[in-house]
Amino acid sequence: MLPEMVQVADLQCGAEWFLVDELNEMMEGRGLGTVTYISEAVSRLHNKFTSFAEKQELREVLVDLFKNQLGSEQHATSAIAQWPVLMKWRRQRVAFAHPLGDKDVVDPMKLNTLKAQVQQAPAYAPVRDAALALIVAAEKMPVM
Q: Residues near 65 by Cβ (< 8 Å), separated by ≥ 6?
A: 19, 22, 23, 26, 76
3-state secondary structure of 64: helix
Closest of 39, 133, 35 to residue 90, by C-alpha: 39
- Per-residue pLDDT tens over the stretch 96-132: 665 555 456 678 888 899 999 999 999 999 999 999 9
Distance CA 5, CA 22 (A): 25
Contacting residues for 90 by C-beta, under 8 A, at least 6 apart: 9, 12, 13
pTM, two decimal places: 0.79
Q: Taking 80 as the threshold, does the pLDDT of residue 22 lie above it?
A: yes
At residue 143, what are phi and psi to the nearest 5 degrees? -95, 145
Q: Where are the beta strands (DSSP E) in the chain?
A: none
Query: What pLDDT is stored for residue 102 in this prediction?
Result: 46
The three-class DSSP label of residue 106 is strand
Q: What are phi and psi of 114, to 5 degrees?
A: -60, -40
Determine the pLDDT at residue 104: 60
User: pLDDT tens across 53-85, in order?
Assistant: 999 999 999 999 999 999 999 999 999 999 999
